[in-house]
A and B are shown apart, each in its own frame.
Chain A
């Protein structure tokens, strides 16, 4: 089992790399490959490819870096390789990012979504959504809002908080075993049910999570708090 982490030195702004650390704790025999932005990605197609949130300037560098691998990434998505994209990483694989001055940054064009960026309007919110019969909790803190395009399939159904944009009934995107969400930070340790689904997509079904009982207790307490406090 391989976990390929793309550009971890730049792409972890909100504690996001702990998603990878948590997977390693769950799969002690997994091999973690950190790919620096100075190096070339492997994209072997086994296990998981992870990309976390990054600054706006880094987004452009990452798009440039991955553009030559566009077809390879498409192949991997089509053949069911697991991907986890958190925060604005989704925009890298999306259609384009529209900036305030009207200019556009073209993405890899692999996901049916585009984003609009407003640097003086940071969006902060808390999120509760449906996932696979259970619930997922998370947090958003971002400069963009996203709009799904034709053929898009949502990841989480919004119950509380904001989806891809304020009117969108769902958060995130799913294509085969690619999971993309704006929820930032350590979504895997915070959401045992989602962590299990991802492990299954990676080809490790039924794995016991690291500190599973405690993670479930923490998740239950947080979910209850969401229901009690968040409208």
Chain B
């Protein structure tokens, strides 16, 4: 697209605004870009791009994958920038293009890595053609924003440009079918001990063959529609992957990388984290890094500090676990992780939508798509639901089969830590949403204090 004098004026104004905001100590991750787009609708299209643009999208895991990719690039001294801590919507992307360019808009770095919200792809992809595009998976997400997965799939198919090389999840029949005409590379986790054939989840977004509607025969179904299957009617099957995890231990994984056997360290062996690491590895390899370089860099990185944090006192833990509200699949994954975590567990649930809780009545339908049934396990000794919708969460837990005597519930989130029965659990999970991180951290501190007191009492 042509760069008119008006475009340069807009760029100048946006850059000046950014300078001013930074001088005033204000946040400049969104506003300069928002202003530029407001003044010039095609701003992203007119802005010069770095030599290589990588976009990471998908329902779940895109932030973690983007963070991993960026951490590895950081440690290998790559010349790049990314939208970490920034916004993954179009104003954030425009702001980044502005901040990583000189006064004439020329990029100051060679590579850009963008985490891209699926719902913003229509505002970005037509104006910024990626050189490589990764999609982690496609699941149902917020009903309000994402409607249903078929809508998101159609949306991505419409706005991802033809010909862009794709990196896709081979174990997700919806994701692997994205942009069927584009060149593609797949990643997969081979069948592992314990991978079964039946679905234990409420949400099943690929109920039949995506091509013909025929019955699928599952080799294994790991969770929801993640697994490998073949259609009994038309033979449509999960694709073979170029990047396949073959073996998992608690601390590392063995993978077949385009025919070579390699090992990579793992911070966390829950499947969602393995998929995230694997997606990042596939992307980095496609960018030209060697598996050895990637493995070396991964060794020094934990999983993103804001997503999973634990503290320990006398062998007992208080664990913060992200469970994105309004996202039934992300919550189901969290619930299953908790069930499978060793020892006796107590769980504090902060599930309310932070904004809705203040201004309206949250659409809580999603509670009935999330597998609370995982929490009806013997090893879960106490559940504490705190927040505006606590009665609704309580009812959902009862319907999931959790005995009433295991549940405490209250409107006030401050009371959650106090309600904990400290004698029983080996670990206390605190589930929170991205917007309630400070509440979760405060609660974690209170829980730790109580666990320490309990330990001191027992020592006396």
If over half of A's interface residues share one DSSP class (helix, strand or loop), that class is named, otherwise mixed; here it is: mixed
User: Is residue B144 contacting chain A, with contact meaning CB distance below 8 A?
Assistant: yes
Please determine whether A185 and B363 come into contact, CB atoms closer than 8 angstroms: yes
Least Cβ distance of B405 to chain A in Å?
Answer: 13
B368 surroundings in chain A (CB, below 8 A): 14-16, 18, 185-186, 189
Cβ contact of B395, chosen from A38, A122, A189, cutoff 8 A:
A189
For the side of the interface on B, what is the size category? 35 or more
A158 CB to closest chain B CB (Å) equals 15
Q: Find A214's partner among B144, B207, B369, B398 (CB 8 Å cutoff).
A: B398
Task: Report A127 CB to chain B, min CB distance, Å.
Answer: 9
Pick the interface stretch among B89-97, B146-154, B418-426: B146-154
B361–A226 contact, CB under 8 A?
yes
Known: A141-B144, A211-B398, A214-B395. A15 touches B369 (CB 8 A): yes
Contact B147 A143 (CB under 8 A): yes
Helix, strand, loop or mixed for chain B's interface? helix
Residue of A nearest to B411 (CB): A221
Q: Which residues of B contact A58 (CB under 8 A)?
A: 150
- B147 A38 Cβ-Cβ under 8 A: no
Query: What residues on A are CB-neighbors of B215 within 8 Å?
Result: 38
Q: Quick check: B213 and A61 within 8 Å, CB to CB?
A: yes
Return the chain B residue nearest A124 by Cβ. B144
The CB with the most chain A CB atoms within 10 A, among B147, B364, B365, B394, is that of B365
Interface centre among B204, B364, B395 (most CB of A within 10 A): B395
The one of A184, A221, A229 in contact with B359, judged by C-beta atoms closer than 8 angstroms, is A229
- Asked if A167 is an interface residue, CB under 8 A from chain B, the answer is no
* Given A9-B208, A126-B360; A210-B399 close (CB under 8 Å): yes
Asked if A13 is at the interface of the complex by the 8 Å CB criterion, the answer is: yes
A218 lies within 8 A of B361 (CB): no
B179 within 8 A of A: no
What is the CB-to-nearest-CB distance from B58 to chain A, in angstroms, rounded to a whole number?
19
B286, CB-defined interface residue at 8 Å: no
Whole-angstrom distance between the Cβ of A95 and the nearest chain B Cβ: 24
The residues of A that contact B388 with a CB separation of less than 8 Å are 225
Write out the residue numbers on chain B whose beta carbons fall within 8 Å of the beta carbon of A124.
Answer: 143-144, 363
Contacts of A10 in B (CB 8 A): 207-208
B91-125 to A contact mask, C-beta < 8 Å, 1/0: 00000000000000000000000000000000000
Query: Given contacts A61-B213, A139-B363, A184-B365, is CB(A55)–CB(B148) below 8 Å?
Result: yes
Closest to A55 in B: B150
> Does A37 sit within 8 A of B, measured CB to CB?
yes
* In the complex, B392 has a CB within 8 A of chain A: yes
Tell me the A17-70 residues at the B interface (CB within 8 Å): 17-18, 21-22, 25, 37-38, 55-58, 61
Sorted nearest first, the 10 A-B pairs with minimum C-beta distance are A185-B365, A15-B368, A9-B207, A218-B391, A139-B363, A18-B368, A15-B369, A55-B150, A186-B368, A221-B391
* 17 pairs, CB–CB < 8 Å, chain A vs chain B: A13-B140, A15-B369, A38-B214, A55-B148, A119-B151, A124-B363, A137-B361, A185-B366, A186-B368, A190-B364, A211-B399, A214-B391, A214-B398, A217-B391, A218-B392, A225-B388, A229-B359
- By a beta-carbon cutoff of 8 Å, the part of chain A in contact with chain B is 9-10, 13-18, 21-22, 25, 37-38, 55-58, 61, 119, 122, 124, 126, 137, 139, 141, 143, 184-186, 189-190, 210-211, 214-215, 217-218, 221-222, 225-226, 229-230
Q: Write the residues of chain B forming the contact surface with A, with a CB cutoff of 8 angstroms.
A: 140, 143-145, 147-148, 150-151, 202, 204, 207-208, 213-215, 328, 359-361, 363-369, 388-389, 391-392, 394-395, 398-399, 404
